[in-house]
Chains A and B, each alone.
Chain A
Amino acid sequence: MFKPSIHLLNKDIREKNFKNILSLVTFFLFLPALGIIFWLFIKGYPALSWDFLTQDPINGMTAGGIFPTIIGTFWLVIISVLVSCPMGVLAALYLSEYAKDGKLTRIIRLAILNLAGVPSIVHALFGLGAFVLFMNMGTSILAASFTLAVMNLPVIITSTLESLKAVPHSYREASWNVGASRLQTIRYIVLPNSYPGILTGVVFAVGRSAGETAAILFTGVAFYLPFLPSTVFDQCMALSMHLFTISTQVVGVPEAYPFATALVLILLILSVNSIAVGLRTYFRVKRKW
Chain B
Amino acid sequence: MELKATETAVPKAMEWRHRKSTKPKSERIIEFIIKAGGLSSIVLIIAILIFILKESAPFLIKRFDFSEFFLSTEWNPASVVEIKYGILALLVGTLLVTIISMLIAVPLGLACAFYISEFCSPQLREVYKILIEFLAAIPSVVWGFIAIMMINPLIIHTFDVPIGLNILNASIILALMSLPLIVSVGEDALRAVPETYREAAEGMGATKWEVATRVLLPAAKNGLMAAALLGVGRALGETMAVLMATGHSIQIPESIFEPGRTLTATIAAELGESPKGGEHYQALFAIGLVLFVLSFIVNLSADYLIRGRKK
Whether the pair A181, B292 counts as a contact (CB closer than 8 A) is no
> How many A-B Cβ pairs are below 8 Å?
245
Contact of A213 among B111, B141, B236 (CB under 8 A): B141
Is B128 within 8 A of A217, CB to CB?
A: no
Query: In the complex, what distance in Å separates the CA atom of A91 from the CA atom of B36?
Result: 8
Q: Which positions 198-227 of chain A face chain B at CB distance < 8 Å?
A: 207-208, 210-214, 217-218
B299 at the interface (CB under 8 A from A): yes
A108 within 8 A of partner (CB): yes
Contact A110 B295 (CB under 8 A): no
CA distance A23 to B112 in the complex (A): 8
A98, B42: Cα distance in complex, Å: 16
Q: Does B156 reach chain A (CB closer than 8 Å)?
A: no
Q: What B residues does A214 contact at CB under 8 A? A: 140, 239-240, 264, 268
Complex CA gap A77/B44 in Å reads 20
- Given A153-B41, A243-B145, A269 and B139 touching (CB < 8 A)? yes
Interface residues of B in 256-295 (CB under 8 A from A): 264, 267-268, 271-272, 276, 284-285, 288, 291-292, 295
Q: Interface with A: B1-9, B47-55, B84-92, B215-223, which one?
A: B47-55
CB <8 Å contact, B239 and A94? no
> CB within 8 Å of A: which of B131-167?
131, 133-135, 137-142, 144-146, 148-150
Q: Assuming the A-B contacts A15-B207, A119-B291, are A208 and B137 also in contact, with contact meaning beta carbons closer than 8 angstroms in the complex?
A: yes
Q: Is the CB of B41 within 8 A of A108?
A: yes
Please measure, in the bound complex, the distance between the C-alpha atom of A277 and the C-alpha atom of B176, giving whole angstroms.
22
Residues of B within 8 A of A11 (CB): 207
As a 0/1 sequence over residues 198 to 228 of chain B, the CB contacts with chain A under 8 angstroms (1 = contact) are 0000000001110010000000000000000
With A30-B128, A87-B40 already in contact, the answer to whether A98 and B267 are too (CB < 8 A) is: no
Residues in chain B near residue A193, CB distance under 8 A: none
Our pick among A128, A150, A212, A266 for the contact of B138 (Cβ within 8 Å) is A266
Is A22 an interface residue when CB atoms closer than 8 A count as contact?
Answer: yes
Query: B142 touching A129 by the CB < 8 A rule?
Result: no
Q: With the chains together, A288 CA to B240 CA distance in Å?
A: 43
**Other-chain residue from B55, B139, B142, B207 in contact with A125 (beta carbon distance below 8 A):** B55
The reply to whether A91 and B37 contact each other, CB–CB distance below 8 Å, is yes
Are A125's CB and B37's CB within 8 A? no
Within the complex, what minimum Cβ distance (angstroms) separates B153 from chain A?
A: 12
With A and B bound together, what is the CA distance between A182 and B239 in angstroms? 44
* A99 to B38 Cα, complex, angstroms: 9
Residues of A within 8 A of B (CB): 11-12, 14-15, 18-19, 21-23, 25-26, 29-30, 32-34, 36, 39-40, 86-87, 89-91, 93-95, 97-99, 107-126, 128-130, 133-134, 150, 153-154, 157, 181-183, 207-208, 210-214, 217-218, 240-241, 243-244, 247-248, 258-259, 262, 265-266, 269-270, 273, 277
Can you name 6 A-B residue pairings with CB atoms under 8 Å? A90-B33, A93-B34, A128-B271, A150-B44, A244-B240, A265-B142
Residues of B within 8 A of A (CB): 23, 27, 30-31, 33-42, 44-45, 47-48, 51-52, 54-55, 108-109, 111-112, 114-116, 119, 128, 130-131, 133-135, 137-142, 144-146, 148-150, 176, 179, 183, 207-209, 212, 230, 233, 236-240, 244, 264, 267-268, 271-272, 276, 284-285, 288, 291-292, 295-296, 298-300, 302-303
